[in-house]
């Protein structure tokens, strides 16, 4: 029984770590892309990385909490998106956010 319990917790922990790694990769990808497109410095790039990582972590929590209520989940995710843009604008500035938005529209 103890071996089974240890195996269960080990598996749960390893999945959690794997999930965190994926979030970090996504945050890094976006921060590198923003840094390149907007010609940002390393300090600003790092700030963007942490903002994006928090975004992905918070979104994961929201999806987990509200997985049974899609409507509420979408409301919470939309609120979070507004906070994201506000935080990014505070770091890169209004003009850079406009440039980023234009870039994203052209890319998609």
> Chain-centre distance of CA 37, in angstroms?
19
Q: Which two tokens stand for residue 98?
A: 């406009």
Burial of 84: CB neighbours in 10 Å, binned 0-12, 13-18, 19+: middle
Q: pLDDT per residue over 41-78, tens digit each?
A: 999 999 999 999 999 999 999 999 998 999 999 999 99
pLDDT of residue 108: 77
Q: How confident is the model at residue 18 (pLDDT cuts 50, 70, 90)?
A: very low
* Structure-token match 């505070």, residue found: 90
Q: pLDDT per residue over 23-38, tens digit each?
A: 999 999 999 999 999 9
Which among 33, 23, 82 is positioned nearest to 53, based on CA atoms?
23
For residues 104 and 20, give the distance between their C-alpha atoms in angstroms, rounded to a whole number: 25
For residues 31 and 11, give the distance between their C-alpha atoms in angstroms, rounded to a whole number: 30
């Amino acid at each position: 029984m103890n071996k089974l319990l240890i195996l269960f917790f080990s598996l749960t922990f390893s999945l959690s770590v794997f999930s965190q790694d994926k979030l970090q990769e996504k945050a890094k990808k976006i921060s590198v892309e923003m840094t390149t497109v907007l010609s940002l410095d390393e300090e600003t790039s790092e700030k963007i990385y942490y903002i994006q990582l928090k975004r992905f972590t918070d979104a994961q929590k929201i999806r987990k909490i509200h997985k049974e209520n899609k409507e509420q989940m979408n409301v919470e995710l939309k609120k979070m998106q507004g906070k994201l843009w506000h935080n990014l604008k505070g770091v890169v500035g209004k003009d850079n956010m406009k440039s980023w938005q234009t870039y994203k529209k052209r890319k998609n």
